[in-house]
Structure formats: structure tokens, C-alpha cells
Amino acid sequence: MKQSEFLNLVMPFKDKLFRLSKRLLTSVEEAEDATQEVLLKLWKGRKNLSTYKSIEAFAMTMTKNYCLDKLKSKQASNLKLVHSNYKDEQTSLQKQVELNDSLNWVNKIVQKLPEQQRMILQLRDVEQYDFDEIAKVMDMNPTAIRVALSRARKTVREELIKKHNYGVS
């Protein structure tokens, strides 16, 4: 397989590999390293790529396994001795990664909202103001605030559904 063929086959889903790596590893630098490692492994094994039905699925699996191995090796280096009756109250690393990823997506989506909707969403859902207080701050009527808030929440919800259902038919 020539370099141009490899680039045409693999590069279209390079960003998917990076996003998966970032979701699992949280650090942009580590995700870039993981993506680069997987691409290098694919390049080294390019003679055998034609044997796979879906090179993209194979690459995604390689990425997932590579990232999980990285996480395991990190955990192993951070192991603590614990008593058998000790209960760990901390959330798991995977849950923390998923939570951080979700928060990042919500922030990105909220930043794309029109400024008025962004302000109303911030005041109501983050700052916990009631509708009358928001009406005074925004110089709007409470009904218009409810409509704008509803639209903002709907946009955020729909965008998150798109992100979480990525690749689902």
C-alpha cells in the first residue's frame, strides 16, 4: 500500500480517533500522542489493512485499547495500599472523564447560543435567579424569558443528543 492510498483510507477518520482518545484520556496532549501512536501502528501494519472489513472500526478499537492500557498503567503507578474494609468514595476515573467531557460539550454548545439565551440560561440554571429577577436584569417580560430559556435548553439538549448518538443509525 502506497502512502497516498494510506492517507486516503485513514486520514478521513483521524479526528474521530482523536476525539475518542480525548474522551478517554482527557488531556489534549495525551490524546494527540495516542492518536499518533495508533496512526503509526496502522502505518507499520498497512500491508495487512486490506484484510479488515472496516479499517475505521479496527482503528477505533486500537485507539480504545491503547487509551485503556495507558489509563491502567497510570492507575498501576498510582496504586495505594488499602485495607479490605476500606471503601473508596471517589468517583471512578472513567466517570470523571465522561463528566469532564460532557461539561466541555455543554460549555461549547452554550457558547454558540445567541447572547440573550446564553445570559438567561446562565442566570436561571447556574445562578438560580427566579424569572422576575431575570426579567428585571434583562429588561424583558417573564413570558419572553421562559420562551428564550426553553429554546436555549432545547438547543443544548438536541446538540448533546447529536454528540452522544454519534455513529448510531
pLDDT, tens only, 138-168: 889 999 999 999 999 999 889 888 877 765 5
Residue 140 to residue 1: CA distance in whole angstroms: 63
Least confident of 55-59, 78-82, 86-90: 78-82
CATH of domain 93-164: 1.10.10.10
> What three-state secondary structure class fits 134?
helix
Q: Quote the pLDDT of residue 76.
A: 56
Compute the C-alpha angle 131/149/111, nearest 5°.
Answer: 125
> What three-state secondary structure class fits 78?
coil
Pick the CATH number of 3-77 from 1.10.1740.10, 3.90.180.10, 3.40.50.300, 3.40.50.970: 1.10.1740.10
Question: Residues of the chain with pLDDT > 70: what percent?
Answer: 87
Question: Residues of the chain with pLDDT > 90: what percent?
Answer: 21
Q: Quote the pLDDT of residue 168.
A: 53
For the question of whether the overall pTM of this predicted structure is more than 0.75, the answer is: no
Q: Which residues contact 15 (CB under 8 A, 6 or more apart)?
A: none
DSSP string, 5-25: HHHHHHGGGHHHHHHHHHHHH
- Indicate if the pLDDT at residue 135 is higher than 50: yes
CA atoms within 13 A on the CB side of 84: 0
- Indicate if the pLDDT at residue 85 is higher than 70: no
- Indicate if the pLDDT at residue 115 is higher than 50: yes
Cβ atoms of residues 59 and 49 within 8 Å = no
Q: Any idea where the domains of the chain sit in the sequence?
A: 3-77, 93-164
Residue 145 to residue 2: CA distance in whole angstroms: 59
Least confident of 62-66, 124-128, 131-135, 144-148: 124-128
